Amino acid sequence: MTISVAITWILFLALFPITFFWMRRAWRIVFKRDFSEVALKRGEAPPNPEKYAPYAAAINLIGAGIIIFIVGWVVLYVAFGVGGTAPDYETWSAVAGSTIWCKFFADFILSRQAHPMVIKKRGKPASAAEKPGQ
């Protein structure tokens, strides 16, 4: 067994828990109405997470669906010879990797949208406020 085969197996097997966690998160949002993991920024939920819950559920479902398709395609072709064209390593690993990165970016964008930036006005320093004539 070469190192490239080992890395391929590690990447492929890592897709299973990733998909499980994404599907579980979507399940919690859609069916259990648990918004505790929606658009977190530094571990803190936004003031109105139910507003962003459909977007978070869609991000998780789309990402998990793509990964399920890739896993199914690879397993069906390797095990049974079914599934159309052969899924070469470069193709399925690129799609899986791009999906993971796009899901991370989409979650990041959603969390920043849910937590708007608050620009704080600077007050006068304490020493300048105490001096008369300034």
The pTM of this model reads 0.79
Q: In the 8-state DSSP scheme, what is residue 17?
A: H
The average pLDDT across 68-97 equals 87
Q: What average pLDDT is seen over the chain?
A: 88
- Ramachandran assignment for 81, one of left (phi > 0), alpha (psi -120 to 50 degrees), beta (any other): left
The full set of domain ranges for the chain reads 3-130
Instruction: Give the burial class of 99: count Cβ atoms within 10 A of its Cβ; 0-12 exposed, 13-18 middle, 19 or more buried.
Output: buried
pLDDT tens figures, 9-59: 898 999 999 999 999 999 999 999 998 889 888 888 888 999 999 999 999
Per-residue pLDDT band for 134 (boundaries 50, 70, 90) equals low
Is the pLDDT reported for residue 72 higher than 80?
yes
